[in-house]
Amino acid sequence: MNDFMKTITKEQARRFILLKQGLIGPYRYIGKDGAYDFIREAGCIQYDPVDVCGKNAELTLQSRVKGFTKKNLQDLLYKDRLLVDYADKELSIWPSEDWPYFSFYRERSRQMGDTFEGLEELKTEAISYIKENGPVCSDTLPIEGEIFWHSSMHWSGHWDKKSPAARSVLEQLYTDGTLLIHHKNGSRKYYDLAEKYLSAEILEAENPCRDESEFMRWRVLRRIGAVGLLWDKTSTAFVGMYLKAEERKKILSELVEEGKIIPVMVEGVKTPFFYRAEYDGIMKDVLDDKADLKPRMSFIAPLDPLMWDKALIKAIFDYTYSWEIYTPAVKRKYGYYTLPIVYGDRFVGRIEVVPDKSTELLMVKGLWWESDIRVTKKLTTALEQTLKRFARFNNCKGYEK
């Protein structure tokens, strides 16, 4: 296959990825509509409950959506219902319109749930209570006792463990697709019946995929679109898909033959890369030097789609990033919750910022430029402007270094 692939430079690969991600050039995504458009284009963004300077999903959107506020995402999820919280790349946020594609996922959950003695009765009891009383969390659903989950039986692969019956029943009904997350209070999830918030047209739609193999192909295509340029390697960008190397290679080959993805080689990297065919215009603009590459500075979320494959980032951007939130303090090289900094067509450093509620200021706890970065007035001005935007995003009146 390599004989027929075009070869691009690492600089061109970087520019293509950042243009596709909406992180260089003029803003492509504006306000709440822009946030929704980006998630539709990416397929999904990861949710993580940790909130140091914004939750991961919020951070992902603020970096490329002009004027984005945290309320924008809350409204899209829990008011407009254009988005749902559901599994994909671990717990994710994705468009409600994609609900039919996950039919196999929900059916497998229901089948495995049937293997637990007594679970069906508890599900019926929970549904009846929710119909009468509305949204519940595990603390407010009056179901007592524990359920023993066995890893060889449960579809999600949990280790053997006991868990409170109320929480287990809610999670099972949620994974089955009977419930969805009504809202969150901090990290606590409240559930209600999906039929109250998603249209019959969505809930009853026929599965667009004929079998699970076709569902896997759809997911591979979606993950390539989320990252922009993805290689034929075992990749953390495929987390949650349980995709074996042989299957990945077969799917990539089929998608190329169907004209859905385009292969390309990157100078200095032996592994082929792929991008979705609908973004070939962006690639051509990069190769023809026609792309608007006006530099923008952005603070990037730790679990941003751009960062899904850190080995790829190292190979193309020569940037090494480790999320040190779970690293013991004495072993951290940087900080508890550092954010990569993108400026122009490269990563220029990382920053740790924390809002101080008492002073309403965004505190810069640490700033580390890459070793080859020359700190110019232009770079400093870009940083100041980005800190001002980030302070507003965190409801702070300013920042303090």
Per-residue confidence (pLDDT) for residue 32, from 0 to 100 = 98
Distance CA 240, CA 243 (A): 8
CA-to-CA distance for 113 and 7, rounded, in angstroms? 49
- The sign one gets for the Cα dihedral 249, 252, 255, 259 is negative
What does the longest C-alpha to C-alpha distance in the chain come to? Answer: 67
Angle at 248 between CA 43 and CA 271, to 5 degrees: 100
Read off the pLDDT of residues 250-301 as tens digits, 9 standing for 90 and up. 999 999 999 999 999 999 999 999 999 999 999 999 999 999 999 999 999 9
Start-to-end Cα distance in the chain:
52
pLDDT band, very low/low/confident/very high, at 186 (cuts 50, 70, 90): confident
Sign of the CA dihedral with 214 first, then 45, 308, and 288 last: positive
Looking at residue 152, its pLDDT comes to: 35
Can you give the pLDDT at residue 269?
97
130-140 residue pLDDT tens: 999 999 999 99
Domain ranges (residues) in the chain: 114-197, 298-400
Among all chains, which residue has been given the structure tokens 């999903």? 57
Average per-residue pLDDT for the chain: 94
Q: Which residues neighbour 254 within 8 Å (Cβ) at sequence distance 6 or greater?
A: 217
Interval 82-87 mean pLDDT: 96
Nearest 10 degrees: Cα torsion 369, 372, 377, 378: -90
Please state the rounded mean pLDDT for residues 196-210: 96
- Which of these CATH numbers, 3.40.630, 1.10.10, 1.10.287, 3.30.70, describes 298-400? 3.40.630
pLDDT range class, residue 116, cuts 50, 70, 90: confident
How far is residue 241's CA from residue 218's CA, in Å, rounded to a whole number? Answer: 11
**Structure token digits, residue 77:** 């999820």
pLDDT at 187 exceeding the cut of 70: yes
Residue 66: what pLDDT? 97
Burial (CB count within 10 angstroms: exposed 0-12, middle 13-18, buried 19+), residue 187: exposed
Q: Check if CATH label 1.10.10.10 holds for domain 114-197.
A: yes
